[in-house]
Structure 1
Amino acid sequence: MRKHNKIIFSTCIVLGFTAVLAGAALTGGEKVPKDFTVSYDGITTADIKAGVSVHDPSVIEADGIYYIFGSHMSAASSKDLRNWTSIGDGYTQSNPIFDNLLGTEHVFDYTGSKDSVIPTDDKKYHVWAPDVIYNREQGLYYMYFCTSSTWNASNLCYAVSNQPQGPYTWKGALVYSGFTKDTIEATDVLDYVDIDYAKKNYIMAGNKYNYEKYPNAIDPTVFYDADGKMWMVYGSWSGGIFLLEIDEKTGLVIHPQEDDENDVDTYFGKRLLGGGHKSIEGPYILYDDESGYYYLFVSYGSLTREGGYQMRVFRSKTVDGEYVDMNGAYPGMWDDNAAYGLKLSGNYYLPGLDKAYMATGHNSAFVDEDGKKYIVYHTRFDNGQEYHEPRVHQYFLNRDGWPCMLPYATDGETIAKDGYDISEVAGTYYVIDQGTAINAEIAEPVKLVLMENGKVYGENMEGTWGMEEGTCYMTVTYGDKEYNGVFCQMKDEAGTDVMTFSAVGANESVWGVKYFK
């Protein structure tokens, strides 16, 4: 368990606040606090338990029940997005999620067993990152997932079921990666391009797969666009994130015409982001009616506890891009990813937590029937282990249409439609800035005071803050970076009522937590 006592305020986080008040009726005359030492005395902490361990959770709701599906043939269900019950886990033929996947002929012809064309490194099965979608045309649940072998020899597959929890029956393979001249005939690549094209583009000198330009065929997620068309986004590290259309009538991918100008490959589809074997994986696209944007979530870093794993988001007005961040940019083939994408969450500690959350990533997202928006991800902990659990946080769109993720796991909170009184939101906050770095450092709280007269105070600094009257929207600025977000009253993870804010700017997320006296 981490000890967080008397952590001194760091001026690098909030130095130079200059926010302009926006319509708030504020009073003056408050006494400026002088003690900015961070102390957790009297704050109850809790280590909430999800009840399951599901890696790379992808969510779907059906008849009031939420299901998450994850790597290693794991899945769980919940009625409240907080407490989960396992419905299957592990590489066994009796796993109820699948209809005898391990014993089905041809599933692992290309990857996954000692008898495959490209045997796995450890001679075991690898079933990763499934995503389930309800196919409206067919009235069936489709699961898209991957089997994998070496770090880039992978195979996207699909299976179907008439109920969300399964069992899912394997139907076929969709996309292959990691092939060489010796193994390409074990794939369907030559059904779409000739061998000369494959040798020129997909296979490098030395008979190696061109992994820096073309994808590792894992981490598929499937979604409907605003016009009712189905798409699959996929990819991990290697050549980046790719997009292919799905034929709703068959569930199969539609291979496009080659278009070099728009970075479209006949077999693999359109590259949206990344490449050059930079860290980027776990893509998830969600269309939001409220903003009219498609949001592309991805994860950076290595998935281990100290690997800097974190969630980023980009957005686009069209399904096939361009997907850009808050600076209007996105990572290309050789760019340093850390500079691109709004960082939603990484490693952090907040009061109310028993230990820091680490390697928060590989998320899915959804908008519930009541309009609430949620991000579903897995997290590791600052406990020296690689154990992980799923977490679900509610998020809101700020006035500019960017996601602002609430600091704590959801517990049924509802934001005030007409905003909050100034006395409810003013006060002393524990504040963390997620930054944009990709490393093992944990974002620790500092103390920040929002005065009722609109002034902001911290150690060796002062500034102002503002909120939009009659709404939950707020704005702050530090240095030359403006942050826009929301206030929301909720419970911390020990069940204590708190006021929070979540604001974003310059690709960074800033969270604040205030305890009521």
Structure 2
Amino acid sequence: MKTESRCLRMIKKKMVRVLTVAGLLACLASGCASGGSSVGKEAAADEIKKGGFTVAASCHDPQILREGDTYYMFGSHMVGAKCQDLRKWNYFANGVDAANTLFDNLLTEPYAAFDFVGKNTDNGYSVWASNVIYNETMKKYVMYFCTTSSYVKSTLCFATADNIEGPYTYVDTILYSGYGKSNISETNLYDVLGKNADISRYLEYGGYNNKEWPNCIDPAIFTDADGRMWMNYGSWSGGIFLLEIDPTTGYPIYPVDDKDADPYYGYRLIGGGHHSAEGPYIQYDAENGYYYLFVSYGDLQSDGGYQIRQFRSEKPTGPYVDVAGNTLEDQDDHFNYGLKMMGNYTFPSLNYTYMAPGGQSTFQDDDGKYYITYHQRFDDGTEYHEPRVHQMYTNEDGWFVAAPFATMGETLSEKGYKKSDVSGTFYVVNHGTDISSKIREAEAYTFADGKVTGGKKSGTYEVKEGTDYITITLDGVVYKGVLMEMTDEAENPVFCFSAAGDNEETLWGVQYIKKE
């Protein structure tokens, strides 16, 4: 029954993009399907405008929620910003400083959130990855965040506020990592598990076994199909974990009686062995019934190969699989697991190269559109970063693909496309599956009459007529994607596709259109 209902939901979702046979016949009868592309005339290479844009803010590990007509962004280092267009952000909080009004008691005596972790290597305090929700039961805004002082000595905390902009009042520390036998009494493990609990499984040679257990950072909250609240978290170390949250208190429900979960850390979703996977964020799609897990691989520096991957599951507790149906565990070749949505890339119209996208989160807006936001570095010799927001769509197989450019309010075509609409030169970026500093440059391909030629690979393409679905086959690899019209960051009108491959690669294709 569950599989049947999921199929029905996916069919319903696809139908909103599909013209009925009667409607299509009526369109043909009225002459609306004249020869040539309905998108517009292709621009010549020398007509492509180069440029870019800035969002006027910097926010690491961004998360967005909406209240009324305003979008709010929270992230690491006590940053808060807001806007109304998902592009130009204005700070209302910035910096780990007692003068920052985002908190009212975090950086005052007794510094309770830092009791265990202490100060960082810069002799300051680290406050990372703030995730804010409105808890309907508590009637409070609740912020989950982490404090840390090393690659594994970290805590998860939460704070509450009556207003979305704060001030937030630190409530408690709920989860610890990076302890050893000598200082485990400084944590809450015995409070949760009992004073006589055997905690040897968390230790190795008297220290914390971080290859098996999580680094307690990067929390994010979601609600499942049954209204239960969950927190996913983790970075490298033992992988990505999940705990249920009690909506009446904001505290975790520690699964002490669940044999399928650790009684303190909860459910392991993916990863382990201190391989890169961090910044987890789970998005539930009520229309197809899947839970989508987005994570970052690689190192966050501009040349560190940072990138965004995707898995999905039928249940919040997993298993989470990639396009090939595989689950990531403690694998040395973890780069082969998870759909790579984006990495380092550039297009002919960009006057810079995008590097190391990651620290992502997602949200569904009031109109049903899905977005992914993340911090973005550049190939400019610095570690400066800005948040970006791209719209996401589900392909024919129900995998999310991201638009190639930052959102400007675009909407998918209601009438869909036909094969002849996809014709001419498309600049294609294949994001690959590598974790490296390699820059994926766009390669010019010719699309004509269902054939793809002119590049290093060749193949075919099909458009599901009357929809925005496209299937591209290159050298035997099948990529299923979505067609979209939008404006790029140099203000060129563009006709694009974003397609997910059965080899965990993503293709972005861009055709530049003449301005009318």
TM-score, normalisation: structure 2? 0.89
Higher relative contact order (CA 8 A, sep 6+): 1
Report Cα offsets for 1:349-404 as digits up to 9, x if no partner.
Answer: 01221111100011000111111110000100011110000000001000100011
User: In structure 1, what is the equivalent of residue 226 of structure 2?
Assistant: 227
CA contact (8 A) 2:404 2:498 kept: yes
* Alignment partners' CA distance in 1, 2:95 and 2:276: 27
Q: CA deviation at 1:329?
A: 0.7
Q: CA deviation at 1:174?
A: 0.6
Mapping of residues 350-369 of structure 1, within 5 Å: 350-369=347-366
Q: 2:106 aligns with which of 84, 88, 101?
A: 101
- Confirm or deny that 1:487 pairs with 2:483: yes
Q: CA deviation at 1:257?
A: 2.6
* Alignment partners' CA distance in 2, 1:184 and 1:41: 65
Q: 1:41 aligns with which of 38, 41, 46?
A: 46
CA contact (8 A) 1:82 1:392 kept: yes
CA contact (8 A) 1:404 1:502 kept: yes
Gaps of 5+ in 2: 1-20, 38-43
* Alignment partners' CA distance in 2, 1:253 and 1:174: 7
> 2:242 is matched by which residue type in structure 1?
L
User: In structure 1, what is the equivalent of residue 214 of structure 2?
Assistant: 215
* Alignment partners' CA distance in 2, 1:78 and 1:29: 40
Report Cα offsets for 1:110-141 as digits up to 9, x if no partner.
Answer: 1233xxxxxx3332100011100110112211
Report Cα offsets for 1:196-222 as digits up to 9, x if no partner.
Answer: 7554211111x2111000001000001
* Alignment partners' CA distance in 2, 1:197 and 1:301: 36
User: In structure 2, what is the equivalent of residue 377 of structure 1?
Assistant: 374
* Alignment partners' CA distance in 1, 2:184 and 2:258: 23
User: SS where residue 507 of structure 2 aligns?
Assistant: strand
- Confirm or deny that 1:473 pairs with 2:469: yes
User: SS where residue 191 of structure 1 aligns?
Assistant: helix
Distance 1:90 1:83, change over 3 A: same
* Alignment partners' CA distance in 1, 2:56 and 2:457: 44
User: In structure 1, what is the equivalent of residue 18 of structure 2?
Assistant: none
Comparing 348-357 and 208-217, the one that deviates more:
348-357
Mapping of residues 197-208 of structure 1, within 5 Å: 198-205=198-205, 207-208=206-207
CA contact (8 A) 2:457 2:475 kept: no
- Confirm or deny that 1:156 pairs with 2:153: no
User: In structure 2, what is the equivalent of residue 497 of structure 1?
Assistant: 493
CA contact (8 A) 1:225 1:319 kept: yes
User: In structure 1, what is the equivalent of residue 125 of structure 2?
Assistant: 125
Distance 1:408 1:203, change over 3 A: same
> 1:516 is matched by which residue type in structure 2?
I
Comparing 329-338 and 143-152, the one that deviates more:
329-338
Q: 1:445 aligns with which of 438, 442, 446?
A: 442
Report Cα offsets for 1:471-506 as digits up to 9, x if no partner.
Answer: 111101112211111110000101111100111112
CA RMSD of aligned residues (A): 2.2
* Alignment partners' CA distance in 2, 1:197 and 1:327: 40
User: In structure 2, what is the equivalent of residue 507 of structure 1?
Assistant: 504
CA contact (8 A) 2:459 2:475 kept: no
Report Cα offsets for 1:255-277 as digits up to 9, x if no partner.
Answer: 003555x3x11111110000100
Gaps of 5+ in 1: 1-22, 31-38, 114-119
User: In structure 1, what is the equivalent of residue 425 of structure 2?
Assistant: 428
Q: 2:71 aligns with which of 42, 47, 66?
A: 66
CA contact (8 A) 1:487 1:501 kept: yes
CA contact (8 A) 2:419 2:465 kept: no
Aligned length: 478
User: In structure 2, what is the equivalent of residue 10 of structure 1?
Assistant: none
Q: 1:395 aligns with which of 392, 398, 402?
A: 392
User: In structure 1, what is the equivalent of residue 16 of structure 2?
Assistant: none
User: SS where residue 124 of structure 2 aligns?
Assistant: coil
* Alignment partners' CA distance in 2, 1:460 and 1:147: 47
User: SS where residue 147 of structure 1 aligns?
Assistant: strand
CA contact (8 A) 1:94 1:100 kept: no
User: SS where residue 490 of structure 1 aligns?
Assistant: strand
User: SS where residue 59 of structure 2 aligns?
Assistant: coil
Distance 1:73 1:460, change over 3 A: closer
User: In structure 1, what is the equivalent of residue 267 of structure 2?
Assistant: 270
- Confirm or deny that 1:111 pairs with 2:107: no
* Alignment partners' CA distance in 2, 1:135 and 1:277: 33
Report Cα offsets for 1:150-186 as digits up to 9, x if no partner.
Answer: 2111110000111212111111111011111111111
> 1:224 is matched by which residue type in structure 2?
T
CA contact (8 A) 1:398 1:484 kept: yes
TM-score, normalisation: structure 1? 0.89
Distance 1:459 1:154, change over 3 A: closer
Identical amino acids, percent of aligned pairs: 48
User: SS where residue 185 of structure 1 aligns?
Assistant: helix
Q: CA deviation at 1:192?
A: 2.5
User: SS where residue 475 of structure 1 aligns?
Assistant: strand
User: SS where residue 343 of structure 1 aligns?
Assistant: strand
Q: CA deviation at 1:40?
A: 5.0
User: In structure 2, what is the equivalent of residue 19 of structure 1?
Assistant: none
* Alignment partners' CA distance in 1, 2:48 and 2:294: 33
* Alignment partners' CA distance in 2, 1:309 and 1:429: 26
CA contact (8 A) 1:256 1:269 kept: yes
User: SS where residue 41 of structure 1 aligns?
Assistant: helix
User: In structure 2, what is the equivalent of residue 237 of structure 1?
Assistant: 236
* Alignment partners' CA distance in 2, 1:310 and 1:196: 43
* Alignment partners' CA distance in 1, 2:456 and 2:352: 29
* Alignment partners' CA distance in 2, 1:455 and 1:219: 44
Q: CA deviation at 1:455?
A: 2.2
> 1:180 is matched by which residue type in structure 2?
G
> 2:240 is matched by which residue type in structure 1?
I
- Confirm or deny that 1:82 pairs with 2:87: yes
Q: CA deviation at 1:422?
A: 4.7
